[in-house]
Amino acid sequence: MKLHKFKKFIKDNEDVLQCNIDNKVAYLKFDKKYLQFCQENYDGFLLFILLIAMKNNKDIIIDGSISYKLYHNLVNNVMYIIQCVLPEFHIIKITCNSFDNNKYNPKGISCGLSCDVDSLSCVEDRYFKECGNLKLTHVTNFYLGACVKRATHDNRIEKIKKYGSNKNLELMLINTNFTEINNLSHHYYHTLKNLCVPLFFQKLFKHYFYASCFISKAISNAISNATSNSTCSKVIWYAYKKNWSIIN
């Protein structure tokens, strides 16, 4: 699988990030004020296609740069743990033109918000309660396949907007066509798909809470290390009534 033709531009008053995955175009669309926070590497797209490539036993070739720490941890840790959980998936090769060692100074603290119990609990604990320098500044919602029907997703967005209307939290909405490319079951394979999106905004997010249901500590350690590279967000796992989180 080849990642190439990375672009970022403004169209119809929206920011667009896109790249070609073989002969298909994958894109994200969002408010144009966030374009300044997008770095020019393939980290997010790499994480997005990793499971598809492993399932189909296809090596990934990147015509551009990726963060070295992300590469190192995917190749040496994450893929092997995924294969332990999903033995039908294959260990593949990842090659790129160069490694991105840029360092940024992000300030944002964010979590995904679906208004289900885990994300609401995260907002309760990390916005309404005293939590020092880990108080939320943003909440996000991505169209990635959690809702099968677009109308269901749009209804959820209206509820999220209503919930956040009286709070000093910035709501970041991102539209994608990722479901057209990654058709793996969202219920079983959502983790890497959801976590790929913060990697597009390494200049914005310093910490990113992944509010989800139970995940094993072995898997969460590996993925946290992989996605918490030296230039971007640190991933913190969060689940309702769980008394642990992992900060790398």
Among the listed residues 248, 149, 146, the one whose alpha carbon sits nearest the alpha carbon of residue 207: 248
The answer to whether the CB of 41 falls within 8 A of the CB of 65 is yes
pLDDT at 235: 63
For the domain made up of 108-238, give the CATH fold.
Rossmann fold (3.40.50)
Of residues 34 and 125, the one with the higher pLDDT is 34
pLDDT at 171: 87
Q: Look-up: residue for tokens 């393939």?
A: 42
Q: What single-letter amino acid sits at 194? A: N
Q: Which helix (H) or strand (E) holds 210?
A: strand 205-211
Return the domain boundaries, the chain: 2-100, 108-238
Question: 140-197 pLDDT, tens per residue?
Answer: 888 766 666 767 777 777 888 887 777 788 888 888 888 888 777 666 677 777 788 8
Among the listed residues 166, 232, 230, the one whose alpha carbon sits nearest the alpha carbon of residue 203: 232
pLDDT at 222: 52
pLDDT at 148: 66
Examine the pLDDT at 83 and tell me if it is beyond 50.
Answer: yes
pLDDT at 102: 86
pLDDT-derived band at 223 (thresholds 50, 70, 90) equals: low
Round the average pLDDT of the chain to a whole number and report it: 81
Please state whether the predicted TM-score (pTM) of the whole model is above 0.85: no
